[in-house]
Amino acid sequence: MKILVVDDEANIRRVVREYAEFEGYEVDEASDGMEAVTMAKAADYDVIVMDIMMPRLDGYSACKEIRKTKNTPVIMLSARGEEYDKLFGFELGVDDYVVKPFSPKELMARIKAVSIRRSTVQPQVPERMTFEGLEIDIAGREVYVNGQKANMTPKEYDLLFYLVKNRNIALTRDKLLEEVWGYDFFGDDRTVDTHIKMLRNSLGEYRKFIVTLRGMGYKFEA
């Protein structure tokens, strides 16, 4: 597996490289967001580990630029752990967050978890469904709201497709974390709630199909 480590601090890049190479990963380094965008366009990486606060181009801007051409999983390194920062990152399609200072072993586990999720969560059953003005094309990974294509993050698609495949079934937050994010995901219930909020915003009036089960979780009811 090939990963790109992006951080303006050489010591952090060195530590991540040492642990990643010990795990058998191939590692490239970039010292700022601009360099990361260039490298990500030129090569295919399995995971990108990227700091947020960097000179020339910050991590969020770099991720947004990379997302225009590549769907590579991105793990953000952040000195800030506020919910707003995470929500903003998730809206850009960031897959996971690690707050500094971090444990290199934990980061390696997150890298492994993200790569596994991306390879196993993708829908495999060709199916297209319509619920009133909501069209869901699982095979094509597309969603249309009243004929207009919805612009959603990869995790919103994964979450919606799982809910729809299990429609009318009550799903706990733990079950959603396990199936959509992976059983070894290091997040918590708020991760599910944050993405449900984003997904409902994307679905507009058809947010009504995602029902909150107080104290338990959610279900797609149609």
Over range 8-14, report the average pLDDT.
Answer: 95
Over range 148-155, report the average pLDDT.
Answer: 92
Q: How would DSSP label each residue in 63-103? A: HHHHTTT----EEEEES---HHHHHHHHHHT--EEEESS--
| Residue 113, pLDDT score | 83
* pTM (2 d.p.): 0.58
Q: What is the pLDDT of residues 12-68, one digit of tens each?
A: 999 999 999 999 999 999 999 999 999 999 999 999 999 998 988 999 999 989 988
Closest of 36, 35, 16 to residue 27, by C-alpha: 16
Q: What is the pLDDT of residues 207-216, one digit of tens each?
A: 999 999 988 8
- Strand (E) or helix (H) holding 45: none
Task: Report which of residues 7 and 92 the model is more confident about.
Answer: 7
- Distance, CA of 119 to CA of 14 (rounded, Å): 28
| Residue 151, pLDDT score | 92
Over range 80-93, report the average pLDDT.
Answer: 70
Cβ atoms of residues 34 and 56 within 8 Å: yes
Q: How confident is the model at residue 123 (pLDDT cuts 50, 70, 90)?
A: very low
Q: Residue 162 is which amino acid?
A: Y
